[in-house]
Structure 1
Amino acid sequence: MYKLLNELKLDSVHVLGWSDGGITGLILAMRHPEK
């Protein structure tokens, strides 16, 4: 997901997810808080 955000040249995003999508969002936030 992080690579996709960089390819799309997005500086900042809001992530919303349910179940495994929520976990993916939390992991993204922990690993890349600048996004």
Structure 2
Amino acid sequence: MLATIIAAASLTVQLIEFGIELRDRHRKPRHKR
């Protein structure tokens, strides 16, 4: 059960980071990275 929770948390974090990166890139299209 712990492994499932960890996997779910990791997936959620990846999804959130992806969404933030996408929104940030969409908001300011400046040369970032």
Q: TM-score range by the shorter chain?
A: 0.3 to 0.5
Q: TM-score, with normalisation over the residues of structure 2? A: 0.46
Q: Which has the higher contact order (CA 8 A, sep 6+)?
A: 1
Higher-Rg member (1/2): 2
TM-score relative to the length of structure 1 = 0.44
Q: Which has the higher helix share?
A: 2
